[in-house]
Amino acid sequence: MSSMLAHNQVEETCVICEKLKPIGIHLYTSFICTECEKDLIQTDTGNPKYKYFLKQLRKITTPEIFS
C-alpha cells in the first residue's frame, strides 16, 4: 500500500532550480523544493549564488486578494 502512495505523489516545479520535485514548501503561489530551501538558507549574502537565488525568487508574486 505505501509503495502505491509513493508512486501517486505529485511533483511540482521548483521556482529556483526549475526541476520537478516531490517535497518542498509553498510560498504564495510558488513552490520551493527542500534542497533549494536549505541551500538558500545556508548561502552567505556575499556569495554570487545568492544573487541567483534573488533573481529566481523575483518570479514569486503576491496573489491579489479580491474583496
> pTM here?
0.76
Residue pointed to by grid coordinates 552567505:
44
| Cβ neighbours for 31, distance < 8 A, ≥ 6 positions apart | 12, 13, 14, 15, 21, 24, 25
Asked if residue 62 is part of any domain, the answer here is no
Assess if residue 64 is contained within a domain. no
> Which residues are within 8 A (CB) of 16 and not within 5 positions of it... i.e. 6 or more apart?
32, 33, 36, 40, 53, 56, 57
In a domain, 65, yes or no: no
Q: What is the pLDDT of residues 27-38, one digit of tens each?
A: 988 999 999 999
Half-sphere exposure of 41 (CA within 13 A, CB side): 7
pLDDT tens per residue across span 9-18:
789 999 999 9
- 67 pLDDT higher than 70: no
Number of domains comprising the chain: 1
In this predicted structure, what is the pLDDT of residue 28? Answer: 85
Helix (H, G, I), strand (E, B) or coil at 62: coil
Q: Is 53 within the bounds of a domain?
A: yes
Owning domain of residue 18: 2-57
